[in-house]
Structure 1
Amino acid sequence: MLCAFEGWNDAGQAVTNVIHHLVSRYDGREVRHIRCDGYYDYQAVRPMACSVTGRRKILWPQTTFYEITVAPGVRIFAQIAPEPNYRWQEYCRQSLRIAEEFDVDHIVTMGAMFADCPHTRPLPLDQSDRGCQCDMDREYNGPVGIPTVLDDMACSQGWDTTSLWVSVPQYLGGDECAQATLQILDRLSVLLGVDLDVGDLPDRANQWKAQASVLTRCNDELSSYVRNLEREYDLAKVAHDVADLGAPQAEQLVRETEEYLSNMGDGPRR
């Protein structure tokens, strides 16, 4: 079951758009809901007024579960909702009861966060896989969202879990980030062993990159900031690659990278 929540955990609408994309590209149907009662602050998550068949109606925030067939014999479930404001533990228990009802054996929580990363490189995508004998990630101390709580509760109750988090450049603001959605979808293809239909996401991702590049070219300060992020990204990648090499190859790789980064830093500036 794939789980995505709007709000704090969904920078650039990256993860909820994964669910929207799958529902639009495959044979999917709504199979369950969790009603909003007791879970939401309506001043934070407003009900929406709309017209349905000529009649005015109030739509309240709720959780929707979809059943989606992505390939012959391959069926997944997807949970999408605004992040609840209250009673998280009860909400997660209710979510897992629904997962149990549908014989789900693996919970995949997804999140997106704003971070210092350049749009000119692949966006950082972190994956954490845990079995039923698990502990919280000891490398992070700080606030968490409901994907982390749901992942932890699922793991403690015996589910295998995977947590996917993608980073979105914070300097681009809150616009939709198709590149992040595409990268998560590609990773899900690996997890499911199915080549998921990406539709027009590659074109939209290229458009996102092009618009970001135009923005940075028009702002000297932002352009310099992005170049620094690129250097940090490339150095981190080298450090990762060096760990997998022997000493002579590692030294050669470091020299080549230092020369490349030095030349990049001396490039023309506006």
Structure 2
Amino acid sequence: MYGQRTRAKYIMVAAFDGWNDAGQSATNVIRHLVSKFHALEVGHISRDGYYDYQTARPMQCVIQGTRRILWPQTAFYDITINESLHILAQLGPEPNYQWMEYCKESLHFARQYDVDSIITLGSMFAECPHTRPLPMDMSIGGEQTDPDNEYNGPIGIPHVLDVAAIEEGYETKAIWVSLPQYFGSDPCPQATLQLLETLSDIIGVRLDPKEIAERAEQWRAHCDIMVRSNADLAQYVDQLEHDADMRQHAKDIASSGTPAVEQLVQEAEAYLRDQQI
């Protein structure tokens, strides 16, 4: 009908505090979106049965002179990216119990907003150097885009939500970034930046990364200083750089055809011989 506005498209993006959120890299993507775009909190999941309060402890705060207790809960935000695109963002601590019921409640919000697709974000520690692009993994509809990165092992709530969403017929993507374990649990803006940039590529909109990019540059400079001041750490990072370069070299050769693969085998054998000397 003439004059009728087309309904905005909704994409759901979810990130969870805890085991799935090394360096707060995934949840900081949501916090960035909430702070940079028009965002309204539109709902939450807060049932007692989901959390062990000795693990996810309630917080005490004073608001306008009144003491309040804030209990662990998941919040949903309606974030206006532009007139035609909204993000329904899910942010909260990973639940301790009843994961399937929790995912059902999460997907209830997705249905309310007629979500087209669901994207989960995660970050994990790994043996990778800060001097190279941090390793990224992605699955689409539960299938890894890089078969060499197929994961077997413990999983968290993003994986379970991804599976539940697929079973409900949603298109899904899971984006993970790995960050250096040698810098501990401090925030890693480089990892947040790479998640944000990948999310931007998926939805086709640049998500205002300037502030995070500046913090990422400062983070890399700080890491360089720490490495230069510790000889053992410098040696370890040097080995990680070599391993990362070898993996990238192997991918480049493998993608160029069979003769190149033979070259890769010869180089790998030479490398192993050198390691034995």
**TM-score (normalised: structure 2):** 0.86
Could you list the runs of 5+ residues in structure 1 that have no partner in the other structure? 262-270
Does 2:250 correspond to 1:230? Answer: no
- Name the aligned partner's letter for residue 58 of structure 1: I
Q: Is contact 2:254–2:260 with CA below 8 Å preserved after alignment?
A: no
Q: Is contact 1:65–1:80 with CA below 8 Å preserved after alignment?
A: yes
Q: Is contact 2:78–2:88 with CA below 8 Å preserved after alignment?
A: yes
CA distance in 2, matches of 1:255, 1:68: 52
Runs of 4+ deviating beyond 2 Å:
137-141, 246-257
Q: How far 1:254 sits from its partner (Å)?
A: 9.7
CA distance in 2, matches of 1:94, 1:64: 12
Q: How far 1:92 sits from its partner (Å)?
A: 0.5
Aligned residue in 2 for 1:177: 188
- Name the aligned partner's letter for residue 153 of structure 2: G
CA distance in 1, matches of 2:19, 2:109: 24
Q: How far 1:195 sits from its partner (Å)?
A: 1.2
Q: Is contact 1:112–1:166 with CA below 8 Å preserved after alignment?
A: yes
Alpha-carbon deviations, 1:26-72, whole Å to 9, x = none?
00110111114111011001111101111111111101000001123
Alpha-carbon deviations, 1:105-144, whole Å to 9, x = none?
2110111000000000000011110179xxxx99432210
Find 1:22's aligned residue among 9, 33, 52. Answer: 33
Aligned residue in 2 for 1:151: 162
CA distance in 1, matches of 2:169, 2:126: 32
Aligned residue in 1 for 2:197: 186
Relative distance call for 1:209 and 1:157 in structure 2 (3 A) is same
Aligned residue in 2 for 1:42: 53
Could you list the runs of 5+ residues in structure 2 that have no partner in the other structure? 1-11, 272-277
Aligned residue in 1 for 2:126: 115
RMSD, aligned α-carbons: 2.5
Does 2:213 correspond to 1:202? Answer: yes
Aligned residue in 1 for 2:5: none
Aligned residue in 2 for 1:265: none
Q: Is contact 1:111–1:166 with CA below 8 Å preserved after alignment?
A: yes
Find 1:32's aligned residue among 11, 36, 43. Answer: 43
Q: Is contact 1:3–1:108 with CA below 8 Å preserved after alignment?
A: yes
SS in 1 for 2:173: strand
Aligned residue in 2 for 1:241: 252
Aligned residue in 2 for 1:82: 93
Q: How far 1:76 sits from its partner (Å)?
A: 1.1
How many positions carry a matched residue from both structures?
256
CA distance in 2, matches of 1:250, 1:204: 39
SS in 2 for 1:126: strand
Alignment of 1:128-143 (within 5 A): 128-130=139-141, 139-143=150-154
- Name the aligned partner's letter for residue 4 of structure 1: A
- Name the aligned partner's letter for residue 42 of structure 1: Y
SS in 1 for 2:137: strand
Does 2:77 correspond to 1:66? Answer: yes
CA distance in 1, matches of 2:213, 2:267: 31
Relative distance call for 1:94 and 1:54 in structure 2 (3 A) is same
- Name the aligned partner's letter for residue 12 of structure 1: G
